[in-house]
Amino acid sequence: MARSTRLSAERWVEIGLETLAQQGYVALKADQLSRAQGMTRGSFYYHFENVADFHAAVIARWKHVATNRIIADLQNTTDPRAALETLFRTAFGQPESLEWPMRFWAQSEVLARDAVDEIDARRIGFLTDLLGAIGHKSPVARRKAHLIYDCYLGSSLRRRLNAAELDGVVTELLMLAERPAPQV
């Protein structure tokens, strides 16, 4: 029998992110989530007018935890090389369980696709800015940012790196980031 108490909107969104990571976007349904939590749908609909509103809240939270919070923390770093190293350690050192579920969702829903496109642009733009701050001209910084970002996306499919592997990846990426472009 379902409990009569309600979960907070924030908790529902956390449950949405956990469900997305474990079961994919197809499991983000009011009935299924409510049943899994031992709640009535009323607890869900108390906070969200409809499932689309819930999806928007889940996507907004993903954008915050997967990108916006990380960038905000690094923007206060005055040394761009240190910011790059911290970013690389964060991105490559912690397997992102939501990266690919979000990308799969983006193939089916415009709201998710728009969010992924926005986050891709934000991440690449931030990397480009950091690379520019260490001395690369705009086209080179952008090209390197795309290359590093593609490495990140590929690595997000892999297992977690051990400490030595992470150190090696970070060292190689920093060398790529710092290496001047060949003069043509």
pLDDT digit string, tens, across residues 43-86: 899 999 999 999 999 999 999 999 999 999 999 899 999 999 99
Do residues 101 and 159 share a domain? yes
* Local structure of 91: helix, strand or coil: helix
Do residues 149 and 79 share a domain? yes
172 inside domain: yes
Is the whole model's pTM more than 0.85, yes or no? yes
101 inside domain: yes
Do residues 66 and 128 share a domain? yes
Do residues 32 and 77 share a domain? no
Range of the domain at 127: 60-178
Give the count of domains, the chain: 2
End-to-end CA distance of the chain: 72
183 inside domain: no
- What are the residues facing 175 on neighbouring strands? none
What is the b/e burial string over 85-115, where b = at least 16 CB atoms within 10 angstroms of the residue's CB? bbbbeebbbeebebbebbeebbeeeeebeeb
Distance between CA atoms of residues 86 and 73, nearest Å? 10
Q: 118-143 pLDDT, tens per residue?
A: 999 999 999 999 999 999 999 999 99
Do residues 77 and 139 share a domain? yes
Burial zone of 28 (CB within 10 Å; 0-12 exposed, 13-18 middle, 19+ buried): buried
Residue 29: CATH number of its domain? 1.10.10
117 inside domain: yes
Element (H, E) at 39: none
